[in-house]
Chains A and B, each alone.
Chain A
């Protein structure tokens, strides 16, 4: 079946612009995660959605970052007034409901801020 799909695969934008990144999880996966991965670094948790529960936003680095998810489907991560330090790969992952479920990652969006 289809895996996690992210778009765009690459995004180049000027500092100060807003960007919107999209994630389409695996069908039936109720949990969805966003991570940021800077070049050569590890996975930095941003936000987590689980079904219709309130999202865990504890990883968002500033109020310029926000995310939404419609039910158990597509999620969008929005970064407003982008800064150069926002340059990174943004990875989305999804998993089945419940504890101890493996996360399945998309290919990510490579964001470059000029």
Chain B
């Protein structure tokens, strides 16, 4: 079945710098890749998603890139701010049903 690996598990960056989180997936038929942000004690919230018919999508300071050949996708956050501190989860669509296969999460720490 589908498997999603997410790296790094923890990422610490200086405020104002960029952060990149990468996920790899195993099933080449997966075609939907969302990213969720979970602040401490809160629900996971969708921040951006991409479908396999595009290679990149941007929304203000966040962007996601998809490399279907290499089977990996990445979240890019530019000009990081303290409120970006959270755990970020990637996911990939399961081919056989409507489910999502989740990465293990990345704890992003923004240093002042």
Contacts and interface: CB of A to CB of B under 8 A. Distances in A.
Q: Do A and B come from one complex?
A: yes
A45 B43 contact: no
Contacts of B103: 42
B98 A101 contact: yes
B34 to A, nearest CB: 6
Secondary structure class of chain A's binding surface, majority of residues: loop
B44 to A, nearest CB: 5
Contacts of B51: 100
How big is chain B's contact interface, by range?
A: 20 to 34
A37 B46 CA distance: 17
Contacts of B100: 103
A107 B43 contact: yes
Contact of B93 (A33, A50, A91, A99): A99
Interface of A: 31, 33, 41-43, 45, 48, 50, 56, 91, 95, 98-108
Interface of B: 31-32, 34, 42-46, 49, 51, 89, 93, 97-100, 102-105
Given A56-B97, A100-B93, A105-B44, 14 more contacts: A31-B98, A42-B89, A42-B105, A43-B44, A43-B89, A45-B99, A48-B99, A56-B99, A98-B98, A100-B32, A102-B49, A105-B45, A107-B42, A108-B43
